[in-house]
Amino acid sequence: MFQPARRKVSDQVLIQLIEADVESGFGLVDEAKAYRIQGNGQFSSRALQAAEAVVADIEQRLASLGDSQAVPFYPLVAELREQIAAAGKD
């Protein structure tokens, strides 16, 4: 089967969405930490729930990519999960 040298446009868009989701997820963790410091546990919990939803979206999108394109994101997703868990324990 012929594999074009360039990624399909749909894969490029999917990768851009994953990159944006990863960035958003880490931003939500930062927000959760800031809310926790301010004593607003309710907003902190909501931000962490939103970050968990972002992780689910990322994983769904990664499943649509081939392994060679998805593998580079696995460490970022693992780190995001760790940060969500750590922020939830604080």
Domain boundaries, the chain: 42-90
Q: What distance in Å separates the CA atoms of residue 20 and residue 45, rounded to the nearest whole number? A: 21
**Phi, psi dihedrals of residue 14, rounded to the nearest 5°:** -60, -40
Quickly state the pLDDT bin for 35 (edges 50, 70, 90): very high
Query: Please, is 51 exposed, middle or buried when counting C-beta atoms within 10 Å of its C-beta (0-12, 13-18, 19+)?
Result: buried
Tell me the Cα Rg of the chain. 15
Place of tokens 């972002």: 54
pLDDT for 84 beyond 70: yes
pTM (predicted TM-score): 0.86
Check if the beta carbon of residue 51 is closer than 8 Å to that of residue 28.
yes
Buried b (16+ CB within 10 A) or exposed e, 18-47: beebbebbbebbebbbebbeeeeeeebeeb
pLDDT for 20 beyond 50: yes
pLDDT tens, residue by residue, 61-78: 999 998 889 999 999 999
